[in-house]
Amino acid sequence: MTKLNARFDLNHCDEIGKVCTVFNLRKASRAVTQLYEEIMRPSGTLPTQFTLLAATRAMGPVTISRMAKELVLDRTTLTRNLKPLEREGLLIVVCVKDDQRSREVSLTSKGIRKLEESIPYWIDAQNKTRQALGSERLDRMIADLKRTAGATSDLV
Amino acid sequence: MTKLNARFDLNHCDEIGKVCTVFNLRKASRAVTQLYEEIMRPSGTLPTQFTLLAATRAMGPVTISRMAKELVLDRTTLTRNLKPLEREGLLIVVCVKDDQRSREVSLTSKGIRKLEESIPYWIDAQNKTRQALGSERLDRMIADLKRTAGATSDLV
DNA sequence: ATATAACTAGTGTATATACACCTATAAGGA
DNA sequence: TCCTTATAGGTGTATATACACTAGTTATAT
């Protein structure tokens, strides 16, 4: 009688790649990120930076910590990811009056313009992805991804 | 009559985060990666490095380029990701006899041991993820992720 | 046989990500 | 009030990721 997990031993490492959640997630992330980067390249905005601009716009003036938690992003990672956008003058991070510890992120008018100009390229990437995957699969997967982000980040 | 894409203008940036494929994929990736890192920490192997070890074991001696293509990973990224594993003596990259351009990656016995020791922690992470998401959703999502990686990497 | 094209790989640079550690400020209790 | 604790944030370091560029090797065409 073989053990249930016998297929995960050294002689069946190909099975690991086939069923590993984190591997398949990261692999798909790379593929989709590469596609979005290619399509959005003419806009001069990286997809990761685009989502930061959109998140800042959506959340209004927001502290680093709150934004990081919302994005399931380490706080220090967010600090660093904001740097290139600050340097380009697309957003500003300023101290909060009521709490000298906190700093709030906001878009500048230049950042708003940049975001607006990038949206058509992002829509193009969205449409090409939908075309490639089919609406049904894509909508289902995004719903599953949301659930995954919520359920697993609760465990950490 | 409003345009179909009207909800993606500057006044509805919250919609962008809700429907953006690359954002939701990366966010879920971060959440799951964080969970795997926490669970696998005692093994001393990062989940990304674990998958590289398993892929090397599965693909046998394999050139950098072929491995990169298989993993939907930029070739130069793979070169750099192999570095810490080489440094620890878990794998070696050697020149190929027949083609002086190519270099092949193989596990060392130390790498095989390390992989074997890490598998139980990986199984634990796999099980906890399955528990959190439910088998049906997880299996469906992984199938969708595979399809996504294949379909979008073909477009680039 | 040689010139050119195609292929394989590495480096420099930049962004993305997170942990350990540190500093400063706010909140709360003795 | 003052001491302790909790909270908000930044830096140093390391890995993950990709592009532009470079160098060497093999294949191909004339």
pLDDT tens digit sequence for B66-123: 999 999 999 999 999 999 999 999 999 999 888 999 999 999 999 999 999 999 999 9
Q: How far is B150 from chain A (nearest CA, A)?
A: 8
Q: How far is the CA of B34 from the C1' of D10 (A)?
A: 22
The vertex-B121 CA angle with B118 and B123, nearest 5°, equals 110
**Strand D bases contacted by the protein (CB, 7 Å):** 7-12, 14-20, 24-27
- Residue B7 to chain A, least CA–CA distance (Å): 11
**Confidence at B4, pLDDT banded by 50, 70, 90:** low
**pLDDT greater than 80 at residue B5:** no
- Amino acid A33 reads T
- Please tell me whether any atom of strand D lies within 7 Å of the Cβ of A32: no
Which pTM does this prediction carry? 0.92
CB contact under 8 A, B126 and A20: yes
pLDDT digit string, tens, across residues B26-46: 999 999 999 999 999 999 999
What's the CA gap between B4 and A126, in Å, rounded? 14
**Weakly modelled stretches of chain A, pLDDT under 50:** 2
Distance A147 CA to C22 C1' (A): 36
| Strand order through the sheet with A91-95 | A62-63, A103-107, A91-95
Mean pLDDT of B126-139: 96
Which H or E element spans position B63?
strand B62-63
Residues of B in contact with A155 (CB under 8 A): 35, 128, 132
